[in-house]
Amino acid sequence: MLLVNTIRDHFETVLEGLQKRNFPHAEAALHQVLELDKNRKETQVERDRLQAESNSTSKEIGALLREGKKEEAEKIKSRTTEIKEQIKLLEDTYSNYEEDLKQLLYTLPNVPHYSVPSGKSADDNEIVFEHGEIPELFEGKLPHWELIKKYDIIDFDLGVKIAGAGFPVYKGRGARLQRALINFFLDEAIKAGFIEIQPPILVNEDSGYGTGQLPDKEGQMYEATADKLYLIPTGEVPITNLYRDVILNEVELPIMNVGHTPCFRREAGSWGAHVRGLNRLHQFDKVEIVQVVHPDKSYEVLEEMSQYVQGLLQKLELPYRVLRLCGGDMGFTSALTYDMEVYSAGQDRWLEVSSVSNFETYQANRLKLRFRGEDKKPQLAHTLNGSALALPRIVAAILENNQIEDGINMPKVLIPYLGFDMI
């Protein structure tokens, strides 16, 4: 979440950033933050003053009792009782101000990086790079939801029977393609220096608040209500929360983690061809990369992570483009996000397959994730994460782009993992 000091010291910059996001009533919300903080501090000052008076009065009472002046001591004791009652009221008031301030800060999104373009929707995102040739397929090409039926590799009807819409069953070579992609993505990340993590796929409320899924995305997560746990919407949540309430040493940075998890999202989106088949699911697999870095290095690392994900797409021989998201389309917690989209030739459209984001101190402030430099003074780290990669739309693009009249060729880089070169 945003730091109160940042809002106070850079009010106009923060306001412009929230307006770039089209955040409603931004100026009023920021003024409310400063007012609550002012009230909180004034309450703390008065509480500390009374505490000092209480300490002084206690010493005075002790001195009087030692001198045998019991009657005078008793008179002062009544003032001590009064002070303690006032302190208790001030402590309650302080706690209320602090809680109100925290809840208000939870509602404010991150301030976009200066390079984030203005805009209200995905139509305003900026294309910064394109790679590869759009495949020219034979007449009669099929979208992946027809291909999976033709070759019996993914079954949505069985998924509906078992769980409901948006929960596909992968079969035979479809299941092996899933496993091959997961192993390929993990192996590539490990070669790049990431440490593999296998985290829980259920998280508690503190973890949801730590990375910003709560309270912003509460309705999008599946909840195990009896235990107040949530099924993760992304591996970012448990992996980043490994470092909640941690003070690192600067020499430990950067921390580079990778993990494969299933992901669960209640909101599967609207109806229509753009969300058919694998385009949007309630459950899907994803390999996630997470970094904790020094603030001076985070934008350099963001570019490196973008290049890394692009390298995966190149090895899979998929045409792709890179978008810099506009203020109105970027995630709540992000300061700058690059989306990678692959071209899916069976549908003749671009599909988002990865987001790579720098959160600056936004998550670290919620997580209390800090590091000590040479001066030994703790400061907030920067956190980043990226999909490397999400499987469903990658599978859709591989199936569609590589289809021929009597089968589907597999990318060369996957053949050692698959044990076959065609479906």
Instruction: List residues forming the annotated binding site for L-serine.
Output: 234, 265, 288, 385
Task: List binding-site positions.
Answer: 234, 265-267, 288, 352-355, 385
Task: List binding-site positions for ATP.
Answer: 265-267, 352-355
22: left (phi over 0), alpha (psi -120 to 50) or beta: left
**299: nearest Cα among 224, 213, 359:** 359
As a whole number of Å, the end-to-end CA separation of the chain is 48
